Structure 1
Amino acid sequence: MILGGVALVLTVALIYYDLRYYRLPDWVTLPAAAAAAVACVAHPAGLVGFAWPAAYLVPAGGIGGGDIKLAVPLGVACALAAGLIGVLLAAAAASAISLVAALAARKDRVAHGPAMLAAAWVVVLYGTWQP
């Protein structure tokens, strides 16, 4: 419960910061990425989540280093909640949300972090929900 509350507070802070400055601060993304990597020691299924940041390493432009660092903990969380399909769905949804936001705003530049965070929250909450 406490971890979820901390994650929610950090999510709000990251969304605000990315929308305002088009940056994701290292003081949040690096510790989160390190914690996700350590979590994979206890839960190797989380390693599948590294598919999300790996996809961003393909040279295409438009994705910043903060987005790649943020994709590590989000990918691991999605992998632990919903497996590879969850990771792929979150990454695809985040890209689609960012594309729609860019088209709607008629901008070449759009903050991708908020879309990543929203997509990951949906996958994690849905993936861990038990009827």
Structure 2
Amino acid sequence: MTTLSKLSKDLIGVLLLVLFGYCFLFVDINTNDLAIPASLLNVNSIFLSIVLEAIPFILLGVFASALIQVFVSEELIQRLIPKNPYIALLPAILVSALLPVCECAIIPVIRRLLKKGMPLHIGIVILVGAPILNPVVFAATFY
């Protein structure tokens, strides 16, 4: 990819982001003139609320992933994971209970650990177990 096409794609992306921000802040859509169904507006509100609630948790996962990238080496992961695949599931269950991230934030963490050399079956156990076993997530869901 040439630098000119990459620059033009970046410029288009920035312009679209600025246009979206302008429309979001300053354009007032009168629903009576457009005849937009109330159910569509309801879906839009629910979608935006879910996205805005998930963004802080995704950023937490990206931050945890960056910490893993900087402070955890491939050799450390290979040394800590048992060679027997069935015995390796026990530390995975413990890690999934101790990681203070929800189902949104666990995805970047598992991706980083897989790139560092963690076996896939351990990643799947952590991915499935973290939202269920984590006490912080359980308490947040309960309240």
TM bucket (normalised to shorter chain) is: under 0.3
Structure with a larger share of its residues in helix: 1
The higher-RCO structure (CA 8 Å, 6+ apart) is 1
Q: Which has the larger radius of gyration?
A: 2
TM superposition score normalised by structure 1: 0.27
TM superposition score normalised by structure 2: 0.26
